[in-house]
Structures are given as C-alpha cells and as structure tokens.
Structure 1
Amino acid sequence: MALSLLSHFFLICILSKFCITNFTRAYSQCLEDQKSLLLELKNELIFELSASRKLVKWNNQTENCCTWDGVECDNAGHVISLHLVEEAISGGIENSSSLFSFTYLEKLNLALNNFNSTQIPKGIQNLKYLSHMNLSNAGFGGQVPFELSLMKRLVSLDISSVFPGIQPLKVENPNLKLLLQNLTGLKELYLDGVDISAQGKEWCQVISSSLPDLKDLSLRWCKLSGPLDFSLSQLRSLSVIRLDGNNLSTTVPKFFANFSNLTTLSLGGCSLEGFFPGMIFRIPTLENLDLSNNELLSGSIPEFPQGSSLKTVVLSYTNFSGSLPDSLSNLSMLSKIDLTNSKFFGPIPSTLANLTELVYVDLSLNSFIGLIPPFYIIPQSLLSLPSLQKLMLSNNQFSGKVEEFSTLHYSSGLYELDLSSNRLEGPIPESFFKLESLTILLLSYNFNGTVHLEKIQRLRNLTKLELSYNNLSVSSSSSVFPQLSWLSLASCNLYNFPDLRNQSILSFLDLSNNQITGEIPSWIWEIGNGALVQLNLSCNFLVDLQKPYQIPKNIAVLDLHSNQLRGELLLPPQAVYVDYSSNKFEKPIPLDFGYNVSFFVFLSLANNSLTGAIPLSLCNAGYLQVLDLSFNNLSGVGKLPLSLEKCKSLEVMNVGNNNIVDSFPCMLSPSLRVLVLRSNRFHGELRCLKSWPNLQIVDIAYNNFSGHLYPESFSSWRAMMLNDDAELRRNHLRFKFLPLNNFFFQDEVTLTIKGLELKLVKILGDFASVDFSCNNFQGEIPDAIGALSSLYLLNLSYNTLTGLIPKSFGNLTQLGSLDLSMNQLTGVIPMELAGLTFLSVLNLSYNKLFGQIPNGPQFQTFPSASFEGNTGLCGFPANISCSITDENEDVSPPKLGHEMEIEWDYISAALGYVVGLGSIIWLLLCCQSVRQKYFEHVDQVLVKIFYRQDRKQRRGGRVLRNQVRRQ
C-alpha cells in the first residue's frame, strides 16, 4: 500500500513538473532585448504583407513576444525557436544582424520561402545552440557555406532544394566530407536537390563514418552515382532511406533487409537493375516502399506473414512480374498499392477485398485477366471497402460483360474509377451511375451500346468523364453537370454537338473522331463562362464557324485538324498548341499572324492550300518548338523569313512540299532536332557556321542543292552518335507542354524508304535519318558520316557523287536502309558493309562499282536489283561469276585486249553495258521530271515499268549468251 502511494506521489510530481515547464514556456515573459530583436528582424526581412500570417502580426501592442505566432521562449524569456514557414519572405536575411543575435536559439525553420538564389548566410554559425535547422525549399542557392560544418550541436539538418527556377545548392567547397565531419550528432539529414556529384563509394563511406547515429537519410536528386557501398550497412539505426532520382546504376543490396528499424525505403528513378531482394518486403517495421521508374529492376511480390506494417507499395514502371499472392490480405495496414505499367498478370486475388484500410489501388498497364460477371475477378467486395477512394485498373486484359450489381453496401468514399483500355463488352452498367461519390469516371476503349448523358447527371459530383473510343452511341438533349470540368466523347458516333451551354466550369472538351457536320456553333466558345482551356474537334466534317464568335483568352489547346474548314485562320491569343492541318484553308497566312502567337509551342498548318509568303512576324513566338507548314503552296517572295532566328526553342521545322526558293536556312536555332525541306526549290551549298548538335532527322530531298558534302557539317550532329547509355535513351521524341494536364505532342515524320513514303508516328530518341536524295551534290562522300552511329536511314541517291563508298559506313550498326543509287561512285563495295546486320534495304544500283559483291548473310538477302547498273560487279546475287577467286585481291573492271580474236564474254559484257547505259540515260531524264513536284508520282510508276522491262531484256540477253556458248 505504501509502495503504491509512493508511486502515485512520484507520478504526480513528474506530471506537475511537465505541466509547469510547458506552461512557463508558453507563457514566459519575453525579455525586452528579445522583443527588440524580433521587431528588428521583422523590419530587416523583405516579405509580402498580404501573404504573411505570422510576421505581419508582430508589433509593440502585444507586450509578451513569447506569445507571438512562430515564436517560442524558454523559462527565462529567451527566444529558442523561430518557425517562419511559408511567410513569403524574399530577402533581407543576408544582411540581418538581428537573426544571428538570438544566441539561445535552438530551432530555426525558414522553409517554403523564396530568397531568390541567395546563399545561406555565413552568420548562421553564430547560432551555437541550434539543434534543428530547416531551410528546405526556401530558395537558397549557390555553394553551401563552410560555416555550416561548425554547428556541432545540430541533430536535424534540412537544406533540401527542389525549388523551380532557382540555382541549386552545391556541396563542392566544402565537399561532403568537410561538411559532415564535425556534425557527428546528426540524426536527420535532408539534402534533396543539392548538387553533391559524388561516386558511390565516396559518399557512402563519408556518411557512414561521420554520422553513426543517423536515422533519416534523404538524398534525392543529388547527382549521386553508384554502386551502393557496403559501408552503409554500419548505419543500423537507419529508419528512412530516400535516394530517388540519382543515377545509381546498381543492384539493391541485400543488407537493407538487416535494417531492423527501417520504415521508409524510396529508390524511385535510380536506374536500378537486377533482381530486388524479396526479403526486404518482409522487414517487420517497413511501412513505405517506392521502387517506381526503374525499368531494369525485376522482382516479384512474395508471400507476406501476418503482422506486416506495410502501408504503401509503389512498383510502377518497373520490370516486376508474376501474380499477386493471396497473402496480400495479411497487409492489414495497406492503404496504397500502385503497380502501374509493370508485368503482373493473372486474376486479382479476392483477398484484396479484406484490406479495410485500402484507399488507393492502381493496377493499370499490366496483364491482369479475367471475366467480370459482375466484378468476379475485380472482386465486387473490393468496391465495398469503406476506405477505398481510388480504383484504377486500366490497360489490362479484363474481358466479358459487366453485369449490374448492388450498390447498397458500396463505398461512399469511392471517388475515382478507371476501367479504360480493357476488353469489356456490353453496355455500361447502370450501377456505375449510382456510385454517387464518384468525381472521376474513366471508361474509354471498352463498352458498346447506347448511353444517355442524362443518366450520368445523377453523379452530381462528377468532375471528369471519359467515354471515348468505345463502340458507343451517345445521346444527349440538354445536359447539366454542375461540377464537370473534363469531358471526353471522342469516337462516340455523335452526329451533332451535345448541348453543353449550361456547363459552368468545363475546361476540357474532346469531341474528336465523330460524324459532326456543319458549323462550329458560336456558343461553344462561351462554355464554362470563358473557362475553356482545351478544345479538340478534330476528325469531323466541320466546314466553318458560326458567326459572330469570340475565342476566349483562356484557350491553350485548339485542335481542329482533319476537317473541311476554310476561310480565315483562327488566332487564339494565348494558345500554346494549335493544329489546323488537313483542312481547306486557301488564303495567305496573315502578315500580322505572328503578333498573336507569342505563347505558341506547337503550330501546324500542314496539308492545306495556303498561298503567299511565310510572314516575317511568325517568330514573335519565342517559345515555339514545333512548326509544320508542309504540303501547302507557300511561295510569295519565296524565302524563309530571317526572323526564324528568334525562335530559340525551335526543335521541329517542316516546310516540305511547298514552292519555297531559298538557300539553306543557316539561321535556325541550335536546338533543332527535326528539319524537313523536302520538295521545294532550295539551292546553293550546304555550309553554315552554326552547328546543330541535337539534330536527328534531316530531309532535304528533291531540291536543287549543290556543291560538296563537307565533313564538318556531319561531325557536329552529335545527337546522331550513340553513346554508352543509348539503350536507356530509347524514349520517344516528344515535346511536353501543359505539364499539369499531362499533354504531349508525339512527333510524326514522313520518310521515304525504298520508294515508299512511311509515316513514323513515334520516333525513338536515338532514331536518326538523313535524306539528301535528288539534288546536285558532287564530290566524295565524307568519312565523317560513318560516325553517325545511330543512323537508321541514309539516302544520297540521285546526285553526282564520285569516289569510293567510305569504309567507315561499317560503323553504322543501326542502319536499316542505305540508298546510294544513281551516282558515279567507283571502286569496290567495302567488306565492312557485310557486317551491317540490321540492314534491310540496300540500293547501290547505277554507279560505276566493280569487283566481287561482299559475302555475308545479310548481303545474300538483297535482290539483284540492288546492284544492277554496275557492269563491273560480280558474284551473288548479280549472277555474274567472278574470274578472280581471291576475295582480298584488287579487282579491276574488265578491259578489251589487243587481240583480234572475238571473245564472246567481252561481247556479252559490252551488250550488258549498252543496256545499262541506256537505262541510266533514261532514268536520268526521269530524274529531271522527278524534281518537279507535279511529276513525282508519275516518275515512280515509270521507274517501276522500266524496271520490269529492263529485267526482261537482261533475262533475254542471258539466254542468248548461253546459247552462243553452247554452240
């Protein structure tokens, strides 16, 4: 009894002391000098009054400064904590004398301000008692000061810097070792976005030797390299590891599984490879695992024991595969699972529906399969989870008809449902329209039947609706969706515009690929009370705009391509993406066109009948990345405007198939990646002082360019030269804008291969093409072209090039098409070409080549037409035997001797030469007409006809020669 009373007495004493301490801290009387320092600090700092919630309230009217927002004092009235997060501070700290006079300060938090790349002030070292410092995302930039390394009492340091548009912080002098060697008491280190630029062994050993008690380590986007050194295993207290966005290029070490206190492991976008150790999933304390965006990292989800602490599992955009185990149900605390774009397959386990804490499920872009009668494999009970908010199952292989289901017990919290891009059949179930909490419903690429928009009006909270590319017929009278901001009804068999005049906040509307005819109604520009940002009416049968109309200023994306529009070109004043291609616009481009396109990123007027000149004002669009004016009748004064030099961001320029008379546009931006001048009347030499290091596709065929091909022109095209990480660069060439809406332009270029025009909708990042055909180039082919190792297509045909085929072409290991026909090339075919294993199209016809055709498995697949017109060639597939058997011996073209004796072999060769010469003369005559736009297609037909006739003549000649020999 006495012991119990004594225990209660001590407990009361402890609680009393705790309460008194906290009470006196909260209500300590502020010392006068501390109050003066605070007011002085307020006057020194530059901040926005309207955005401040704390500083703006500091004033003399409240005597006790310890009660001011953001201020904390100790018992004696000294300021020990300043918490000035997100106070819109932009300056004044670098010269502050008051801040560094708070000698008792223990905690300083200036996060989420904007100091405009100011350096962290060196006076920070005066705060000798500081234990917690947070300057994250406060806009500090430049070198981290050495003085920071002298603050030996620091327990938590956060100088993370992922502030957009701000010069990043650097750890250079001092380097990481000098910065950390005295901070041995650190338990939390956050350096996200700080430029450390260190190798794996270096930074791992510095951290493990300097910070033995470290618990939280966050080094995201620090330009760190791998591999991860074993020395990290010494940090047995680690609880948080975040290394996202570094180029570690390593496997995940198994020793991570030995961190018994690990709660968070985040390694997204680290270029990880190999197989992920499954035992890491089973760490009892692990709550958050993020391995996303590591496409070379493989693994599978293991069986889970009872009692796992996992709350978040993110494996999106990895090479993880396999089926989902039933033991997922043991993850009783799991709230988020994201497996987007991995390689999982099989049915979704029904046990997933037992996870009562599940909020977010994204299994999109995998190979999950199964019938859904109703939600048999997508378990019906999954939708009844009380906490489920997002269910995303798009781009899988779910099939079958979705039957109606009871919604009585369904989650009232489900606000996002995405079943798009599966193999679902039948009509959209009525039950979907009873999930009243839905804000996002995405059902594209699935269903059929008829849907009435009036039914969807039951979903009063709906903000985003996508029904595109189903086999649906959408009917509508007057529909009102009070919260709808995004509506996509592409390819829904619409014949008229749905009446959307009452939509008050609609900002995205896609009615493309329908059967809508007539005029674009004037009311469409008033949708959302002028809030419309993106409008896509492409691929319909629209002919004009109903007048009067006024395009709202907010329009950023306007896509009207593939209609029958004519008349004036619309000029949205603040648009970034405009596509009017494939219409019937005929008039000249207005001279003041460029004054209204200052924000344009993408502009396409291709496939119209536009006339006149390209306006000088065009390149007031300083942000322009893609300009496509191809397939028009542009000429006027006939030149490209010199103002194109102002387009510093231009990456794609296509003016092909016009009537432009000019020299090569040397003024174009160095950022250029795609240049198409095809089928115009460009002339002169191809020689510029400027270089284009990013150039990947060049098509200047069917012009009048002349002169030599200069080596320096090709040697500057560095983007066509593969490097060691070529495989990792195989992303598509695309141009991103409106990142908040995830809107992309996927580039599309037409190339001519083997006489056929091929449209490449997706161009690999390391794809390269050069087409100089049908010009007047002369001289030798430069060896420098052989350094363009990512070339897929090279066409130099129909010129007057001389000399040898460079042996350096053997370095073009990615080459798929090579056309050097109709030139005057001499010598033997280099043996190096036989090693081009990707080569599928080869044309060396009608040159002056001689000797044996190289042996090789690839060369044996080419037809004889690839080599015809070279009378000195022999061997397969030319079907002419070689008199010299030694392939390494120089072979000269056959010559007539002085003997009077008739040699039938020579006569046969002469006959072949006559036929070949006639063919060359005939085709050269055709080439002149080919250069004229109107005869281009006629020429292709004639070449094919002549080719057949020529082969018949040659076969007849061989029969006659064999008969003579037998006689």
Structure 2
Amino acid sequence: MRISLLSWLCLIIPICSLFLNYNILAVSGQCLGDQRSYLLELKNSLKFNSTLSTKLVRWNESVECCSWVGVTCSRGYVVGVNLESESISGGIDNSSSIFSLRYLQYLNLAYNNLNYSQIPSQLCNLMNLSYLNLSNAGFAGQIPIEISRLTRLVTLDLSLSLDFSPLKLENPNLATLVQNLSELQELYLDGVNISAQGKEWCQALSSSLPNLRVLSMSGCYLRGPLDSSLQKLQSLSVIRLDYNYFSAPIPDFFAYFRNLKTLCLSFCGISGQFPKHIFQVPTLQMIDLSNNYLLQGSLPEFHPNGSLQSLLLHETKFSGTLPDSIGQITFTHWEDLQNLVDLKLCFNSLEGDIPSSLFSLPLLLTLELCNNQFSGQFHEFSNVSSFLLHTLDLSNNNLEGPIPMSVFELRGLQTLQLSSNNFSGSFQLDVFQQLRNLSMLDLSYNSLLIEHNQTNSTFDQIVSLQLASWKLKTFPNFLINQTNLFNLGLSNNQIHGEIPNWIWKLPHLYRLNLSYNYLEGPLLNFPTTLSFLDLRSNQLQGQLPTPLSFFNYLDLSWNNFTSTIPSLDSSWNTYNYQGSFLSLSSNKFHGHIPESICNATSIQMLDFSNNSINGTIPQCFITMSKNLRILDLRRNNLIGKISDTFPENCSLQTLNLNKNLLEGVMPKSLANCTNLEVLDIGNNQIHDVFPCYLKDLSNLQVLVLQSNNFYGSVGCEGSNASWPKVQIVDLSSNNFGGKLSIKALAYSKAMMANNESQPELNYLHFESRGYYQDVITITIKGQVIELVKILTIFTTIDISCNNLEGPIPEEIGVLKSLHILNLSHNAFIGRIPTSLGKLTQLESLDLSSNKLTKEIPVQLADSLTFLSVLNLSFNQLVGPIPYIKQFATFLETSFEGNKGLCGSPLKTTCTSAKPSSPPPTFEDSHSNSRPLIDWNFLSVELGFVFGFGMIIWPIVFCKRWRIRYCKHIDDILFKIFPKLYLGGKQYRGIQAQRNAGQRR
C-alpha cells in the first residue's frame, strides 16, 4: 500500500519534534561550567550552620548543579536561587559570585542572619531579576539606589519584623526607589523606616506603580492623611498599612477598588466614621480595623454574594446592633456571610441580642464578642453537630438567663469564655465532657450553679479553668486528677481552710489565683513550675518558704504573714523575665530587707508597703530603677537617707516612701526619672528646700512632701510651666515661708483645663503582668485619708500648716478645675481674692487660721455651687456673711473666730440693714463698664404687678411658657443642689473620692 507524502509528514514530524525536545531538555538540564563554579564559590564564601541547612549542605560537586536543592536552571543557566532559612551568618558583599549569575530571575535570601550588613549595590548586575526577596535576611542601613535599576522586578520584598527596623529609606527615598519599577506588582516594605507624609508616599506609589496588586507597608512610620492619588492603583488586591499613624478618617475610595481582597489598617490611629460601603466590596475577604480606639462606625448590610472571611474590629468604637433579619428588615441575614471564618468584635459598644443565625455560619472558627453591651438571653440554636467553631468568647457583657445547651454540642470547641455576665441557673458539670476538645473554660462572675459528680467527672483535656465568684466553700474534688492543668483561677469564693497539697503537686501548673478567699495556714513550699501566684486577701500566716524561688508574678498582700522577708534564690536573676511583679504589702513582715532582693534585677513592680520593716533602703533598689517602674515602701519603719544614685535611664513611674523615718535631703538624681508620675515622701524627716531640680519632670502628676522639714520659699521662680500635668500637690506641715506664687508652683494644664470636656474617667495605676493601684495619703476636707483610687481629673493643693505670708495671689483664679484648696494655718494677710469665685469646681476651701481681713467676697457665695466644705474661721474678716446658695448650708464653725463677722449662721446680728449690690460678673467688672441698673431699688409693688402680669399669667394660660418656666426652675435647683440633679460621670467620680479612704 502506497503511503501518501502527507501521511509520512504526519509520522515524521512528531518523531523529529520528540528528538528536538529531548536535545533541548538535555541542554537545559546540564549546568554550564561557569554557572556551576559560581555556585560553588558562593557556597564556599558563605558561613552557615550545616546542621540546620537543608539546601547548601547538599550542594555536591559530583552532582549536576541544576539538580541542587534551591537551584533552578533554564538552558543550562541558573535562573533561580532560593536560600531561604539557611541559617546563613556573616554577610554578602559586592564581591560575591552570586552577582555573576547574569541570567538570574529569582533570588530569595529571606530569614537568614547577615549580621546587619548593608544590601550590596551589585544587585544592579542582576538585570533579569523579576523576584527579589531579602525579607528578614539580616540586612541593615540605607536601601541602595541600585535596586531602582532592576526594571523587570515584579515582586520586591524587603520586609522586616515590626519590632525591629534596621532598614531605612532616606536617600534614596520611596519615590526614587520605585520610579523605574513600572512592572512591579507586589511590594513588601513592612518594618522599613520610611518616615513620609501621606501625600508624599501616596503620590510616589500611584505615579510609578500602575500595575501594583499587593501593597504591604506595615510599621513604616508613615503618616496621614491618606491621599486621594492612591485610588489610581485600581489593580490593588491586598493593602496592608497597619502599625502606622494616619491620625485621620479613612477615605471612602477604598470601596472603589474592584479587586480588593485584604484591607489591614489596625493600630493606625484612624478616627471618625468608617465608610459603611467599604464592607460591601464583593471581593473583600479580610478587613482588619482593630485597635483604632477613636474609630466609630456600625455594621451595615453585607453583600449577598460577598466573600468576607475575616472581620476584625476589636478595640474600636463601633456601636449599634448586630445585623439580623429578626425584627430588623433593613438588615440582611448573617447567613449571607457563608465564608466567614473569623469574627472579632471585642471591646466595642455593640448592644442588643446576639443573633442565633451567627451559629449557622458553616465555616466560622472564631467568634469573639467580649467587652460589649450585649444583653438579653443567649438563645438556643440548632444544627450544630457539624460546626467547626473552636473559640467562643462572650465575656464581659450583660447576657442573662441560662446557658443554652446547644453550646455543649459544639464538638470542635476549644475555648469557651462566658465570664462577667448575668448567666444564671444550674446544670450538670458532666455536660462539659461532651466537649472533647475543650481546653480553656471561663465561667467566672456569673450566678451559675454547677452540680457535679465528685467521682465520675474527669476533664483531662482542660488546660485553663476559671471559676471565680462561684460561692465555692471547698476546692472541687474533680480538680485533683487534672494532670494537664496549666491555669487555675478560684478567686472571690468562700473557700476556707488550708491549701491542699495536691494543688502543689499538679505537674504542669503555671498560673494559680486563689485571691479573696478565707484560706489559712502557712505556705510550706511552691512547685518549681509555678510562675504566677496570686494569694492576696486571705488569712494566711506564718513564714514563707526560703529561699523564695522565682515567680514572674507573686502577690501575697493583705494576709497575716509574720516572718522576715525571705531571701530570693539566684533563679530570680537566671530567669531574666522583664515585667516581674512582687507584692508583700499589708502583712506583718519585720526585720531588714535582705540583700538577695537584688537578684530580682528584671522586676518592674515591688510593693512592701504597710508592714513593720526596719533598717535602710537597700542601695540596689535605686540601681534597679532602670527596670523598676513601681517602688512602694510606705508605712514601714525605714531609716537612713535616700541614696542619690538614681541612674540616667531610670524608669520609675511611682516612688512612694510615705510614713517612714527617712532623713537627709531629697536626692537630686531623681531628676533622671523622667517617667515619674507619683512622688510621695510625706511623713518623714527630710530636711531640704523646695525641689526645683525636679521641675523638668514633665509627667509628674502627684507631689506629696507633707509633714517633713522642708523650708524656704514654695515653687520655682522663673519657671512658668513646671509639671504641666501635676494634679495633686501636698506641701502641708512643713516650714515653708515667704510669699506664695501659684504660677511658680502648679501652673498645670490639669488644674487649668475644664475637666467637663474629658469623656471618660480613669485612675492612676500601673498595669503590666499585674495591676498596681497608686495609693497616697492626703488631707481631704479636714480628714487625713488614704486615697486608694486617684482619679485622673481629681485636683488638690494643700499648703496648710506652714509659714507663708503676704496676700493670697489673685492668679489663683486660673486653676479652674481645682477641687480642693487648703491654705490654712499660715500667715496670709489682706482680703480673700475675688478670683477664687472662678474656681467653679471647688468642693472644699479652707483658709482658716490666717490673718485675712475685709469682707467675704460675694462672688464666692454666688459662684462656688459645688462647695461642700468651707472653713474661714480664725481670721480677721468683717462684715455680713453672704447667706445665699451654698453659703446658706454652712455651720457656725465655718466662720467662728472672726470678731467682725455678723449675720447667719453666727449669733451676731448685723447693725446695718443697707442692702448690698449683687456682685459684678468677672467680664463686666472693669473700669470702662457702663453703669448697671440696680433693680433692688425698684418698689415691691411695681415688681408684684409686673411679675403677675408678665410671668404668672403666661404660666397659667400658656403651655409653652409653662414648660420653659419649669425648665428654668430646674436649672436654678441644679445650681443649688447639684447632688440631686447632676448624674454625670465627673460628679460621681469626684464623690467617689470622698469615701475612698473607707474602702479598707
């Protein structure tokens, strides 16, 4: 049979093609000689750990180099080198043979340790590079201009871990670096110090990178606001700009990126209202706006065909309710978010019910709604057997009713946190055994009652168990065999007796909180695994184990221990954990402080207050202040001088030495402690002048020098802004003399500002691994009390019991937010300044036992409507007492000892019946004011006629006038009786101070 020519061609061509392809593949698989030698030279020049290496260690001369791990070839030329995570140390300089691989398209040196060397400029020789990854490779310094010549780059990754930024872009800057990289699609510069304004860096990117798909520049010291030029980058799919500081609202143009999948803007300082329609971008898979504390917004309708997988809004100010179709027809179903995996909304102001439809999301793994205002019942939900949910956190809300049994059908649940709600009812503890994967359980601070079988209940998988405030009388027996228990919290219960030995034998116990119970007996020993131990507020007694082994957190305060302070073993120095917390306060410890305390070099909080400790303050305490934040030794019997050796890098925030027997002078080196907020050395025997050398401590808020032997003038002359944050000044019971200058003493914003503008109240405290509440002893309204909680808006000046003279300065009127002023027991002369009437927040005023003369200014009675304590006794005041408003509530003792005073509440009547004129307003009382009509001289009859005709008649017959009249009367009563009408946070917070000393 004759075969046609066409048939022959069809047969021969594939065979020829096969041989041709074989020859090409053979050529591609063979490593050309120079390429092989370059790679071997590279290997020999690098320092790497052969035990950790998985690539370089296998580069063998006897094997074709194109088959080496991490090497990719094309036609015999090396086009790819991947040395990621090869434990390479040392550096790569410009002479490296890697820059001879001219055909290289792919280079990855990520995750090595190149000893903070500079990125070599010879990278520009690799003109064919399309992928360059130097992330976390150990490079440092300025990024070289030569990278901008790699015009074929598609991916550039120079990113670093955010906690360390050794790379920077200054010269060249960002605009110069990217100006020629028009092919770039992925840019990763996380952690690089760029330090550019919003318009600068936004325009640099938008003008040079038209094809950019991935923009990742977290922690680059970028500033805002975001410029509109960014919207030119319409190909953007991933935007990561978190850990910068934009300090501005988010523009709505993010909603117009057609391919947007990821938007990360956490920790950016963004504020304002977040545009709702950004949530509705149909391609959006992840949005992270967390930790933007001023960002407001609400959750909208979600796109019915959306792709959202992660919605992270924790620690913002989102409010409103969660969208649900039940009773809210304007919202879509949560069922529209079928792809949702992570929903984190903790620490917001969300309210309403928690929709049961949330538990219908088939892929949901994490649901965190803690620290909101959700209320109502947590309802049962169905079809849960296949759920993947592993984290459910509803803690710190207002949920009530029983816990739905549906929760115990979530078979994949690993973490369940329902603490600090109003859940009630009882259930069998055995139901938790259905949750085979459960490792963390927190049911604290509810009204739950759990019934458990003492013998059958086992929870071997539980790692963390919190049952605080359960009214437990004894330790639950089911805990005895919990060999995997890592964290146990049984605080705020009613457990009596000794701590059982089996607790100390739990092999993995790391954290134990038994505070606020009725535990007794001594502590014999501690397990070596235990690092966090809180036993405060019990009835433990006896001696402590010595030496005391290492604790990262140890709080034994408010017990009855009577031993000496135990020594610390060397483990306190071996385990150099930053942030250690040690409190032995409010016990009966005695003797000297052992020198072994110096082993705790990394400690941040040290509280030995309220004991019977004697001896001197160990020198090492002062040296330790480079790490120490809190040093509280108040209410002991310590003697000697305060060492003047505070280091230059002193980190102290609180130094409290009140009520000891210390002497000498104030250490001048305290000026090195620039973070100092609370300085209390009251009730000692310090003999010194006013500490003007501390005037540059810009963070100081509390200064207490009470009951010492200070002398000389008060304040620092020539300094207009000493202690701009100071809010409490107590210089009472010293030997200060001369004239008082308020401007030189406490001309602070905290005392001058109008605190009504502050939206939230807070307390002075320190919070790290533990919580320390600042406590000071001051005189408030005639009583010496211990302030357990110091409001950040609470302000007081006490300079009583000194030898100050001259007039009270008029400039005192600038301290508009002052709450307490005590100038008693001095030698002030002249009249009471009328400017005191400007202190409208004043609650207590004591000017007693001075030499003040003239009349009591009517402005005080007219303006000080919050005044609850007044003492003007034992002066030389004359004239009638202005018996109006708050002044009409004070007793005779407030005015006694002034022979020239008359009128109520004194028994001495005034001889002159001449009516006094009303006080001029502060704005109108100047020389150029026009004369004011004194309506007191109008006749009573004329007033009656006009009063009836113009006021009474409209009130009776006109509803609108009647409403306005009632409102006006309310305003007047509000000024006279603020406690009955004022319900704001500020007044309640200040009132709380009055009883703070009664808390313990």
1:417 matched to which residue of 2? Answer: 416
Question: What secondary structure sits across from 1:471 in the alignment?
Answer: coil
2:559 counterpart (546, 556, 563): 563
- Between the aligned residues of both structures, percent identity stands at 38
How far did 1:858 drift? Answer: 4.0
Q: Which 5+ residue runs of structure 1 have no aligned equivalent?
A: 1-8, 770-791, 881-943
Matched, 1:665 2:667: yes
Matched residue, 1:468: 468
Number of the residue aligned with 2:929:
none
Residue 79 of structure 1: aligned partner: 78
> How far apart are the structure 2 equivalents of 1:26 and 1:334?
50
The answer for the alignment partner of 1:143 in structure 2 is 142
Q: 2:819 aligns with which of 812, 816, 819?
A: 816
Q: For residues 609 and 133 of structure 1, do their structure 2 counterparts lie closer, same or farther at Cα, with a shift above 3 Å needed?
A: same
Pick one of 854, 857, 862 that aligns with 2:867. 862
Deviations 1:80-128 (A, max 9, x none): 2232333333422246522333322222223333445433332332222
> Match of 1:436?
436
- Aligned-pair CA distance for 1:31: 3.3
**Mapping of residues 727-876 of structure 1, within 5 Å:** 734-735=765-766, 737=768, 743-756=770-783, 767=792, 792-806=795-809, 809-826=812-829, 833-848=836-851, 853=857, 855=859, 858-862=863-867, 865-869=870-874, 871=876
Residue 885 of structure 1: aligned partner: none
Bigger mean CA deviation after superposition, 222-231 or 345-354? 222-231
- 1:927 matched residue in structure 2: none
Structure 2 gap ranges (5+): 1-9, 325-332, 573-579, 727-747, 886-890, 915-1000
Query: Is residue 123 from structure 1 mapped to residue 110 from structure 2 by the alignment?
Result: no
Q: CA deviation at 1:867?
A: 4.5
Counterpart contact for 2:764–2:789, Cα < 8 Å = yes
Supply the distance in 2 between the matched residues of 1:746 and 1:41 (Cα, whole angstroms).
59
TM-score for the superposition, normalised by structure 1: 0.79
1:366 and 2:362 matched = no
Separation in structure 2 between the aligned mates of residue 101 and residue 728 of structure 1, nearest angstrom: 64
| AA of the residue aligned to 1:369 | S
The corresponding residue for 1:693 is: 698
1:190: how far off?
Answer: 2.0
Q: Structure 1: how far apart are the matches of 2:444 and 2:220?
A: 40
Q: CA 1:306/1:47 → structure 2, altered by over 3 Å: closer, same or farther?
A: same
Q: Could you say which residue in structure 1 is the equivalent of 2:909?
A: 962
* Within-5 A mapping of 1:638-677: 638-645=640-647, 648-668=650-670, 669-671=672-674, 672-677=676-681
Q: 2:896 and 2:360 mapped to 1: Cα distance?
A: 75
Deviation at 1:200, TM superposition (A): 1.9
CA distance in 2: counterparts of 1:858 and 1:258, whole angstroms: 56
Q: CA deviation at 1:704?
A: 0.9
The yes-or-no answer on 1:625 pairing with 2:629 is yes
Secondary structure at the counterpart of residue 669 of structure 2: coil
Aligned to 2:585: 581
Secondary structure of 2:591's aligned partner = coil
CA contact (8 A) 1:452 1:475 kept: no
Residues 484-533 of structure 1 show CA distances to partners (whole Å, capped at 9, x for unaligned) of 211111123222314224421111111111111011132xx12xxx2211
Q: Determine if contact 1:322/1:343 at 8 Å carries over to the other structure.
A: yes
Q: Contact between 1:480 and 1:502, CA under 8 Å: does it hold in 2?
A: no
- Output the CA distance in 2 between the equivalents of 1:642 and 1:223: 39
Contact 1:119 1:142 in 2 (8 A): yes
Secondary structure of 1:231's aligned partner: helix
Match of 1:74, as an amino acid? C
Task: Give the aligned residue type for 1:628.
Answer: D
Q: 1:253 to 1:546 in 2, by over 3 A?
A: closer
Equivalent residue number for residue 42 of structure 1: 43
CA distance in 2, matches of 1:600, 1:711: 38
- Asked whether the equivalents of residues 664 and 682 of structure 1 are also in contact (C-alpha less than 8 Å), the reply is yes
Asked if the contact 2:871–2:894 (Cα under 8 Å) also holds between the matched residues in 1, the reply is no
Supply the AA of the counterpart residue of 1:334.
L
Distance 1:156 1:662, change over 3 A: same
Give the number of equivalent residue pairs. 843
What TM-score do you get using the length of structure 2 for normalisation?
A: 0.77
Root-mean-square deviation over aligned CA pairs: 3.8
Give the secondary structure class of the aligned counterpart of 2:540.
strand
Aligned to 1:87, the other structure's residue is in SS state coil
**Matched residues in 2 for 1:293 and 1:346: separation?**
23
Deviation at 1:354, TM superposition (A): 1.5
CA distance in 2, matches of 1:422, 1:23: 72
Code of the aligned partner of 1:205: Q
Matched-pair contact (CA < 8 Å) for 1:450–1:475: no
Superposed CA deviations along residues 52-97 of structure 1, whole A, max 9, x for unmatched, are 3333x1443552233333x232222333223233333342224652
Q: Given that residues 336 and 358 in structure 1 are in contact (C-alpha distance below 8 angstroms), is that contact kept between their aligned partners in structure 2?
A: yes
Decide whether the 8 Å contact of 2:902 with 2:908 is kept in 1: no
Whichever residue aligns with residue 700 of structure 1, its letter is L
| Residues 475, 595 of structure 1: alpha-carbon distance in 2 compared, 3 angstrom cutoff | closer
- What does residue 256 of structure 1 align with? 254
Other structure's SS at 1:634 match: strand
Q: 1:521 to 1:426 in 2, by over 3 A?
A: farther
Instruction: Tell me, in whole angstroms, the C-alpha distance in 2 between the residues paired with 1:797 and 1:20.
Output: 101
Deviation at 1:192, TM superposition (A): 2.0
Q: Which moved more, 1:350-359 or 1:140-149?
A: 140-149
Q: Give the deviation of 1:26 after TM superposition.
A: 13
String of CA shifts for 1:674-729, please: whole Å, max 9, x gaps. Answer: 21101111111134656423322221111111112223677453555659999799
Cα distance in 2 for partners of 1:23, 1:714 equals 84
Query: Cα gap change, 1:836/1:954 in structure 2, threshold over 3 Å: closer, same or farther?
Result: closer
Q: Deviations over 1:244-273 (max 9, x none)?
A: 222212222122111110001111122222
Residue of structure 1 equivalent to 2:948: none
Output one character per residue of 1:617-644: Cα deviation in whole Å (capped at 9) or x when no partner: 3345342221110001111xx2113444
> How far off is 1:762 after superposition?
5.8
Query: Counterpart amino acid of 1:567?
Result: S
Distance (whole Å) between structure 1 residues aligned to residue 239 and residue 689 of structure 2: 58
Q: CA deviation at 1:287?
A: 0.4
The worse-fitting range, judged by mean Cα deviation, of 653-662 and 177-186 is: 177-186
Q: Which residue of 1 aligns with 2:197?
A: 199
The alpha carbon displacement at 1:534 in A equals: 0.9
Cα offset for 1:25? Answer: 11
- Residue of structure 2 aligned with 1:515, choices 515, 518, 535: 518
Is contact 1:618-1:644 (8 Å) kept?
A: no
Counterpart amino acid of 1:420? Answer: S
Separation in 2, partners of 1:963, 1:872: 14
Superposed CA deviations along residues 266-290 of structure 1, whole A, max 9, x for unmatched, are 1112222222221111111000011
Alpha-carbon distance, 1:206 to partner:
1.8
| 8 Å CA contact 2:334, 2:358 repeated in 1 | yes
- Equivalent in the alignment of 2:308: 310
Q: 2:412 and 2:21 mapped to 1: Cα distance? A: 44
The residue matched to 1:201 in structure 2 has which SS?
A: helix
